[in-house]
Amino acid sequence: MTARDTDLEAYLGSREAARLADYLAFLRIPSISGIPAHAGDCARAASWLADHLRAVGMEHVEVAPTGGHPIVYADWLHAAGAPTVVAYGHYDVQPVDPLDGWTSPPFEPVVVGDRILGRGASDDKGNIAILVAAVEALLAVRGALPVNLRFVFEGEEESSSVHLEPWLIANRDRLRGDVAIVSDVGFFEGNLPALTVALRGIAYAQIDVRGPFQDLHSGGYGGTVTNPVHALAAIIAGLHDADGRVTVPGFYDDVAPLTPADRAAYAALPFDEAAYQAALDVPALTGEVGYTTLERKSGRPTLDVNGIWGGYQGEGSKTIIPGRASAKVSCRLVPDQRPDRIFPALKAHVMALAPAGVRVTVTDLGGGLPSRTSLDHPAVRAAARALEATFGRAPLFIREGGSIPFVATFEEVLGLPVVLMGFTPPDGNFHAPDEWMDRRNFELGIRAFARTLDELVAPPA
Amino acid sequence: MTARDTDLEAYLGSREAARLADYLAFLRIPSISGIPAHAGDCARAASWLADHLRAVGMEHVEVAPTGGHPIVYADWLHAAGAPTVVAYGHYDVQPVDPLDGWTSPPFEPVVVGDRILGRGASDDKGNIAILVAAVEALLAVRGALPVNLRFVFEGEEESSSVHLEPWLIANRDRLRGDVAIVSDVGFFEGNLPALTVALRGIAYAQIDVRGPFQDLHSGGYGGTVTNPVHALAAIIAGLHDADGRVTVPGFYDDVAPLTPADRAAYAALPFDEAAYQAALDVPALTGEVGYTTLERKSGRPTLDVNGIWGGYQGEGSKTIIPGRASAKVSCRLVPDQRPDRIFPALKAHVMALAPAGVRVTVTDLGGGLPSRTSLDHPAVRAAARALEATFGRAPLFIREGGSIPFVATFEEVLGLPVVLMGFTPPDGNFHAPDEWMDRRNFELGIRAFARTLDELVAPPA
């Protein structure tokens, strides 16, 4: 440990109680972005965060209006010649239902043993609190940061980040930098330190099948018209082959194959397949043949029906041929697939699968690009060194099966490579009752983020 | 025309206005059996009908309680040595939504041109009014009926006839007879006189597919578990082959094949296929290969999904793998299929089609036997002669694609052959706004029913 590290540690040690108090104050603001009645709370959270950023020494602090909840911007730009980091987090949180699942009310956070319980404790106020606490300590101890830093904290991540991309585009010039750090991720199973190096993209569509002009009596008409549910079932059944592969022509054309190194990395991850299956309560794990469960989970593209409906859904029996039937279908995409290529291919295949006697439409409900960060990027290596030094073991490099569409926006619009580094425990009940943050992750996360900024300007070993 | 016919016609001619007034009074009672708030109206309709039956000269009139709405019973049993007819109708009606589709409020019947508009005008108060008016005229003119007659008018046909079968079984001894006439049918396309000589039966089931213990995030889990909607779609798609035949093993084993005479009868029916397709607004008519549309519609068994649901059905997108998915499935059966043989075969086939990774259950939601009346039965021939003499053309012998499960109860429990004779126009908007009865059908139907009773005791030509 260097003298600089010792000073930083002394400061952090002396300030633990005050830091926790700030964090809990942040958690008490019920900034649920998806519920209009909480719009004032979102504004209050933005205002609280801006005040806090000013207090720790960040500059140009601004609560920037959008068409929805504001974006909080702040920077510190006095590290001449050093790289500029753009760090992202979100101050809004998920709804809290069901309320009876909570140990303490969701916006009355409590510390129970090693856990801080409360809505947002992890996702993502916890990560924001870590970033800001690291900056506070660095500025307090050294009067300066090792790099230039911009914070972009949005308030709509839990309600689709509608206004983030337009704001990033509109502010492209003042967001110049060298690397983005997106905090809205966490550790691997077993609470093992991890860096997320890939996200899947998405292409989302709705299939609508129309048969007769209205529901028909299945006795009077059964046998004479194509049942829209049968047509939809035939379409859905035709989207995969017997090996679990997606049958859409061209679907795999742009897929970057998993390399031997990729597959070795997957195989090296600690993963208890039996426990995973038992937790899901399924009689078998299934998927594309030739790949492991972890590879299927994030390294390969998928197609899933997200919902289906048509005809009678009530108790007992009603004897109709439904007039129409619909399904929501989405594909998870891996590099280098693109939703603007996958959607037309899916649509064409659905139309080709449609039987006679019905009319089929396929509607684009949006998409997002997959993303992947090179393990060789200096910022990834800096973050990895910082995590290993702080947590005592090298981080796992993991791929996430889900999508964070705006990561591609950081890459494409701002031209920034993105490092996905966050500190939430993998079983932290995000979006569920008793969301929690691990106190060790929180405290060591502060050290790790501070060290990452140092590592970004460290001379090569 | 005999002297007896002349007297009957004179009576009927003199009473037309009074008869219409009685019919409209019956229609004004909102006896919707499926809506609990109308229970009192159903009781009122039963009471009105019982009073009316007494007034026309029927005996042993009874409003018989059931577990639900009452059954109105009446008889006239003084035709010693003549056959006994059990005639069925139902005094309950369908709900009336949507209200804005009605020319006049549904329970304020009006006469517009040749049509009597109002809920129940056809289905089935119109047919009941015809039966009772015929009896009234016969008893008024002759003081006697040519046959013994029992009326059974139930009040729950539009809500599944739940209490009819138990009541028939409990009253088996006093319902002895030689033939049943079920009035709850009508004429063929073009308003052509018809006798229904076959009904399809039904077997109804629900398929439930369970996957993971709850909906899963499709990003985090997509690719590792069997999606219950995919499994259900594969099952449904596997229930028919490319020729539109049902693939359930044994499904066709008990089907009485259409004979050359059956097929000739179908081919002789006037039927405008293009108009039928246009009215349904479908791009093509489809079904089992090797059969015509009319044959498929009532002469061949079918399998239809009546409803399907699973996962997200709202606006926009939600990225889940549904935890479960379900479908309602029913088969229309033809002689000599039986629901107690079809359901187990369907269940076994569904289980065989289920892919790995999900749990499937198939639940029996009930069924009914198909029925068929021999064209050679003396009562069918009597009814046919009466229709031809009254309407000026021989009736068509038609099969109905729908099911009237209690017809099999009349056959099996009471041991009665069933003649299906009713007088509603085929496009009479049953179950829809502006339900209507054709005035000519109504008036001639009275003559045809009276003549049928005469023909039942006529010496062979």
DSSP B432-451: STT-EEEHHHHHHHHHHHHH
Q: Which two three-digit tokens encode residue B158? A: 């539009």
User: Region B309-314: what's the mean pLDDT?
Assistant: 92
pLDDT band at A196 (very low <50, low <70, confident <90, very high): very high
Is A94 in the B-facing interface, judged by CB distances under 8 Å?
no
Q: Which of B91, B54, B89, B94 is nearest to B74 (CA)?
A: B54
CB atoms within 10 A of CB B178: 17
pLDDT-based confidence at A158, cuts 50/70/90? confident
* Contact list, B308 vs chain A (CB under 8 Å): 229, 232-233, 308-311, 313, 322, 325
- The answer to whether the Cβ–Cβ distance between A284 and B322 falls below 8 Å is no
Interchain contact A293–B (C-beta under 8 A): yes
Q: What is the model's pLDDT at position B461? A: 57
What whole-number distance in Å separates Cα of residue A270 and Cα of residue A194? 12
CA dist A66 and A73 (Å) reads 12
A460 — pLDDT class (breaks 50, 70, 90):
low
User: Which of A 215-244 lie inside 8 A of B, CB atoms?
Assistant: 216-227, 229-230, 232-240
Lowest mean pLDDT among A319-323, A434-438, B125-129: A319-323
Q: Nearest-CA distance from B316 to chain A in Å?
A: 7
Let me know how long chain B is.
461
Q: Does A276 touch chain B (CB under 8 A)?
A: yes
Which residue in A213, A219, A223 is closest to B280 by CB distance? A213
Look over chain A and give the mean of its residue pLDDT values, rounded to a whole number: 94
Do B80 and B95 form a contact (C-beta atoms < 8 A)? no
Region B318-347: what's the mean pLDDT? Answer: 95
Q: Which of A314-318, A386-390, B141-145, B439-443 has the lowest mean pLDDT?
A: A314-318
- Residue B459: pLDDT over 80: no
- CB within 8 Å: A229 and B305: yes
Q: In residues, how long is chain A?
A: 461
pLDDT tens digit string along A107-134? 999 999 999 999 999 999 999 999 999 9
Cβ neighbours for B239, distance < 8 A, ≥ 6 positions apart? A230, B246, B247, B248, B303, B329, B349, B350, B353
A361 touches chain B (CB under 8 A): no
Give the C-alpha separation, A68 to A164, whole Å. 10
Distance CA B370, CA A5 (A): 87
Which residue in chain B has the smallest CA separation from A242?
B355
Q: Is the peptide bond before A304 cis (omega within 30 degrees of 0)?
A: no
Q: What's the confidence (pLDDT) of residue B96? A: 87
Q: Is the peptide bond before B7 cis (omega within 30 degrees of 0)?
A: no
Note whether A297 contacts B223, CB cutoff 8 Å.
yes
- CB B311 to CB A305 under 8 A? yes
**What pTM does this model have?**
0.87
- CA dist., res. B360 & res. B356, Å (int): 10
Give chain B's domains with CATH numbers. 3-199+370-456 (3.40.630.10), 201-255+301-368 (3.30.70.360)
Pairing state of beta strands B179-182 and B84-90? parallel
DSSP summary character for residue B153? E
Interface check A374 vs B, CB under 8 A: no
d(CA B222, CA B210): 16
Q: CB distance B311–A307 less than 8 Å?
A: yes
Count chain A–chain B contacts defined by CB atoms under 8 A. Answer: 273
Task: Phi first, then psi: give them for residue B426, nearest 5 degrees.
Answer: -65, -25
Q: With pLDDT > 70 as the criterion, what percentage of chain A qualifies?
A: 99
B1: confidence class by pLDDT, cuts 50, 70, 90: low
Report the candidate in A447, A451, A407 with the shortest Cα–Cα distance to residue A182. Answer: A407
Q: How far does the CA of residue B400 sit from the closest CA of chain A (Å)?
A: 7
B312 touches chain A (CB under 8 A): yes
**Helical (H) or strand (E) element with B195:** strand B194-199
Nearest CA to A25 out of A2, A48, A43, A5 is that of A48
Please enumerate in sequence order all residues whose Cβ is within 8 A of that of A132, keeping only pairs 6 or more positions apart, or say none. A52, A53, A56, A151
Residue A1 binned pLDDT confidence (cut-offs 50, 70, 90): low
CB contact under 8 A, A307 and B313: yes
CB-CB under 8 Å, A220 with B357: no
Is the CB of A216 less than 8 angstroms away from the CB of B322?
Answer: no
CB distance A302–B402 less than 8 Å?
no
At A352-390, the pLDDT tens digits run 999 999 999 999 998 889 998 888 899 999 999 999 999
Least CB–CB distance from A223: residue in B287, B310, B403: B287
Mutation for B interface: A160, A196, A200, A225, most B CBs within 10 A:
A225
Query: Does the beta-carbon distance from A232 to B233 stay under 8 Å?
Result: yes
B357, A232: Cβ pair inside 8 Å? Answer: no
- List all residues 6 or more positions away from A271 whose beta carbon is below 8 Å from its beta carbon: A189, A293, A294
Residues 5-24 of A with CB under 8 A from B: none
**Does the beta carbon of B437 lie under 8 angstroms from any beta carbon of chain A?**
no
Q: Please give, one letter per residue, the 3-state secondary structure of chain A.
A: CCHHHHHHHHHHHHCHHHHHHHHHHHHCCCCECCCHHHHHHHHHHHHHHHHHHHHHCCEEEEEECCCCCCEEEEEECCCCCCCEEEEEEECCECCCCCHHHCCCCCCCCEEECCEEECCCCCCCHHHHHHHHHHHHHHHHHHCCCCCEEEEEEECCHHHCCCCHHHHHHHCCHHHCCCEEEECCCECECCCECEEEEEECEEEEEEEEEECCCCCEEHHHHCCCCCCHHHHHHHHHHCCECCCCCECCCCCCCCCCCCCHHHHHHHHHCCCCHHHHHHHHCCCCCCCCCCCCHHHHHHHCCEEEEEEEEEECCCCCCCCEECCEEEEEEEEEECCCCCHHHHHHHHHHHHHHHCCCCCEEEEEEEEEECCEECCCCCHHHHHHHHHHHHHHCCCCEEEEECCCCHHHHHHHHCCCCCEEECCCECCCCCCCCCCCEEEHHHHHHHHHHHHHHHHHHCCCCC
Task: Please say whether the beta carbons of A414 and A371 come within 8 A.
Answer: no
Percent of chain B with pLDDT over 70: 99
Which amino acid makes up residue B381?
A: R
Query: Chain B within 8 Å of A316 (Cβ-Cβ)?
Result: yes
What integer is the mean pLDDT of B162-175? Answer: 94
Residue B3 has pLDDT above 80, yes or no: no
A5 pLDDT tier (thresholds 50, 70, 90): confident
Task: Compare A338 and B99 and report the one with higher pLDDT.
Answer: A338
Type of residue at B213: F
Of B213, B325, B403, Cβ closest to residue A280 = B213
Which of A206, A285, A286, A365 is most worth mutating to test chain B (most B CB atoms within 10 A of its CB)?
A286
Contact residues, chain A, for B293 at CB < 8 Å: 224
What average pLDDT does the segment A43-55 reach? 98
What does the pLDDT average to over A334-339?
Answer: 95
Query: Is 80 exceeded by the pLDDT of residue B132?
Result: yes
pLDDT tops 90 at residue A459: no
Average pLDDT over residues A27-50: 96
With beta carbons under 8 A apart, name residues in chain A contacting B221. 280, 297, 401
Is pLDDT of A318 > 90?
no
**Residue B200 at interface with chain A, using a CB cutoff of 8 Å:** yes
Query: B252-295 pLDDT, tens per residue?
Result: 999 999 999 999 999 999 999 999 999 999 999 999 999 999 99
- Say yes or no for a CB contact (<8 Å) between B218 and A332: yes
Three-state SS at B62: strand
**Which has more pLDDT, B451 or A317?**
B451
The confidence band for B200, taking pLDDT boundaries of 50, 70 and 90, is very high
Q: Is B304 helix (H, G, I), strand (E, B) or coil?
A: strand
Give helix A339-353 / helix A228-237 axis angle, nearest 10°: 130
Retrieve residue B334's tokens.
């033809």
Which candidate from B232, B319, B328 shows the least CB-CB separation from A312?
Answer: B328
CB-CB under 8 Å, A318 with B220: no
For residues B332-348, give the mean pLDDT.
Answer: 97
Mutate to test the interface with B, among A161, A232, A304, A430 (most CBs of B within 10 A): A304
**Which residues of chain B lie closer than 8 angstroms to A212, CB-CB?**
280-282
Q: What is the pLDDT of residue B56?
A: 98
Q: Which residues of B232-256 are buried (b: 16+ CB within 10 A; e: fewer)?
A: bbbbbbbbbeeebbbebeebeebbe
Find the closest chain A residue to B356 by CA distance.
A284
Asked whether A333 and A301 are in contact (CB, 8 A), the reply is: yes
Q: What is the pLDDT of residue B434?
A: 93
Residue pair A311/B328 in contact (Cβ under 8 Å)? The answer is: yes
Which of the residue ranges A317-321, B20-24, B81-85, B368-372 would you say has the lowest mean pLDDT? Answer: A317-321
Q: How many CA atoms lie within 13 A of B107 on its CB side?
A: 15
For position B111, what pLDDT does the model report? 97
What confidence tens digit (pLDDT) does each residue in A281-312 have? Answer: 999 999 999 999 999 999 999 999 999 999 99
How close A429 comes to chain B (CA, Å)?
Answer: 13
Confidence tier at B433 by pLDDT (50, 70, 90): confident
Mean pLDDT throughout B331-354? 97
The pLDDT value given to residue B248: 98
User: Quick one: average pLDDT of A136-157?
Assistant: 97
C-alpha separations of A51 from A45, A62, B351 in Å: 10, 10, 62
Cα–Cα distance between B310 and A232 in angstroms, integer? 13
Return the residue in A258, A309, A317, A400 with the most chain B beta carbons within 10 A, the one to mutate for interface testing.
A317
Q: How far is CA B336 from the centre of its chain?
A: 19
The interface predicted TM-score of the complex, written ipTM, equals 0.87
The candidate with the shortest Cα–Cα distance to A321, out of A162, A453, A210, A434, is A210
> Is the model's pLDDT at A461 over the cut of 70?
no
| Cα distances (Å, whole numbers) of residue A142 to A4, A7, A139, A450 | 8, 9, 5, 12
How many CB atoms lie under 10 A from the CB of residue B223? 29
Least CB-CB distance to A307: which of B200, B217, B322?
B322
Question: What is d(CA B191, CA B438) in angstroms, rounded to the nearest whole number?
Answer: 9
Q: Which residues contact B47 (CB under 8 A, 6 or more apart)?
A: B63
The lowest-confidence range among A32-36, B24-28, B222-226 is A32-36
Asked if B70 and B64 count as a contact pair (C-beta separation under 8 A), the reply is yes
Residue B158 forms contact with A (CB below 8 Å): no
